[in-house]
A and B are shown apart, each in its own frame.
Chain A
């Protein structure tokens, strides 16, 4: 099998996503883990580009790297007072919990892998009449049209939901909020 440039870059970013995600999860130091999360999110945005979703990739960078990560750093800085000197030895219940977690995730991974490998996607009904996106298509333009026509209702519901979530978050984080 010959590897073109596209394949090499794709698998590089795929490996970057998986390895950095694994490091984020096993890292003991929360600051390192949050900054590695940054690497994972950027590599994921690169993978979205390979599915010809340039607008989604941009939204990923803006929303996650710009919003979510800053929020997480704030939450970390506001809640780390005793976290830095809490390198306490693992309790007895921890090992069992840890082992069960690994087992469940690995079994689930195995199930997902077998399903995906055994499925022949070209046989599916909707794949027969597919219309793939070309690299030259203007998907941002298409997304704008779809937002205002086919998916107008989800878009409006989402905007109301987002406002509810932001008001709720502001209320929860309010100073002097007892209980």
Chain B
């Protein structure tokens, strides 16, 4: 049986990789992949805790909900990325600066 803290260490590592991608990547799709990593780290934690929660089943249920939310987020984000590409002819987040102050 795998101890709970090992799941949490893996998910912490995955979260930080996602954070690094969000902070430094210059391509909107890779930034989106970073966000997906962070969501997946959260799901891994949900699932790891859900193992000890047979009665309420909260961990597994909310892991499922989080996966669905992530999928909806990806659909909207990719539609936005396509529009940004049409408008700016680039998906580099540093080049889309119309919303800047």
Q: Which residues of A contact B (CB under 8 A)?
A: 6-7, 10, 14, 17-18, 21-22, 24-25, 30, 33-34, 37, 40-41, 44, 47-48, 50-53, 55-56, 59-60, 63-64, 67-68, 71-72, 74-76, 78-79, 82-83, 94, 97-98, 100-102, 104-106, 108-109, 112-113, 116-117, 119, 121, 126-127, 130-133, 137, 139, 142-143, 146-147, 150-151, 154-155, 158, 161-162, 165-166, 168-170, 172-173, 177
Contacts and interface: CB of A to CB of B under 8 A. Distances in A.
Interface of B: 1-2, 4-10, 12-21, 23-27, 29-30, 32-34, 36-37, 40, 43-44, 47-48, 50-57, 59-65, 67-76, 78-83, 85, 89-91
Contacts of A102: 20, 24
Contacts of B90: 82
A151 B61 CA distance: 8
B7 A51 contact: yes
Contact of B82 (A22, A79, A97): A79
A50 B2 CA distance: 8
B23 A101 contact: yes
B101 to A, nearest CB: 18
6 contacts: A17-B14, A24-B37, A25-B30, A82-B89, A94-B26, A168-B79
Given A79-B29, A133-B51, 4 more contacts: A10-B2, A51-B2, A146-B57, A172-B76
Nearest to A60: B67
B83 A177 contact: yes
Contacts of A67: 71, 74
A6 B12 contact: no
Nearest to A66: B71
A63 B24 contact: no
A52 to B, nearest CB: 6
A98 B24 CA distance: 5
Closest 6 CB pairs of A and B: A101-B24, A101-B23, A165-B72, A172-B79, A112-B12, A105-B20
A118 B64 CA distance: 29
B40 A113 contact: no
B82 A105 contact: no
B78 A75 contact: yes
